Structure 1
Amino acid sequence: MTQILMPKATAVWLIDNTALTFKQISEFCNLHILEVEGIADGDVAGGIRGADPIANGQLAREEIEKGEKDAGYALKAEQFDSNPIPKSAQKRKGPRYTPLSRRQDRPDAIAWLVRNHPEVTDAQISKLIGTTKPTIKAIRERTHWKISTITPTDPVSLGLCSQIDLDETVKIAAEKENKRLAKLEKETGESLKPLDAPAPEAAEEPEAAKTEHTLESLFKPSTSE
């Protein structure tokens, strides 16, 4: 199957503009069905703009219509150049140049990346949106001078990078993290699992209940003579 460009952005568009099932979207975009459900619920890909697969030549309208009529139909992608970026732009050394008009948005983009993709390293963030490691560190540690006004925002929507660059950065970071965990598991001989969520604290007794108990103690006849 042809590799879909901007899978998450494509999934966002298909969820918003078609009656396709999560399973069909999952298979077409090569995403886990739980990830597609998360996108629909707003828990995943927050801030990512939908990419119309019809407009960018990845999917024919007729395929969507077939899929909407038959929930068991598997969408077939159109044949397209999966690497349309000019060779001169494929490899870039050093941090990305960011126009002056966009530089004030970088803290918001850094906060979004730190929150949504903690596996992405400071070096990768620096290269992706053209910022400095001290700035990233300050935002991670919440010591940045404008931390109170920072609003985590998808760097693609801010125009600081392309969806393709973002997806590639996240993919590379995830692969490195998986290798690191696999190596650690091999060295320790233990299977690494996510930390269990802390048990919720016991809910404080409602004020009304407290009052009721107090009144009961006042009017309850004493058993002692």
Structure 2
Amino acid sequence: MATELLMPKATAVWLVDNTALTFRQIAQFCGLHELEVKAIADDEAEKGIKGLDPVQTGQLTRDEIATGEKDPKHKLKLSAPKVILPQSKRRGPRYTPVSRRQDRPNAILWLVRNHPELKDAQIMRLVGTTKTTIHAIRERTHWNAANLTPTDPVSLGLCSQLDLDHEVQRAAASMPQPSPEEAGARLLSAEETTAPVAEDEELNPETVLAKLRGMTGGDASDDNEDDSNS
């Protein structure tokens, strides 16, 4: 916990000047040597450092200080942060352990085949590779192309399932949606395809002839008259 303390020497200066804690307690809390704390108390060290109140910064409570002052053997505990800062976003390709780098071509082949919507930059983020390698595997010009076996990168431990799902969703969202013309004719609904045909429509000759005219573009009644005359 001491390594996470904000400005440990300035905190030690404040604790020496404002509390009855022992040198050992302050040293343990601030990650310093006990002799360093004694030197601070004797004005032999850190003379130019202004004390930092750990209570004001939310790293230590007054109750914790009081407990330590009553019990010299008590080890001070760093307070949990009230605000959790977001982790900095990783830039560049993902680092891949040396023992797993030989599996990257198999993972790339799996991604190219199963998720062709993924861009090269996304594959690079997932498995920590280069555009040159991705292009070689896409074009089957990789030096070991004949021996590659497509393998899920999650099962290989090259990325997490959450990372893979995130990249796939991003790729799907960025793909252009087809226009109504490109999508083709509208499919009939279930109500339309399963609706019963009316009896009068089934048996009415004129209705049947009208449908035939629409299908052939000709006059079905004239054809029938010609057939009857002949």
Instruction: Answer whether TM exceeds 0.5 for this pair.
Output: no
Superposition TM-score tier, normalisation by shorter sequence = 0.3 to 0.5
Larger RCO (CA under 8 A, 6+ residues apart): 1
Which is higher, the Rg of structure 1 or of structure 2?
Answer: 2
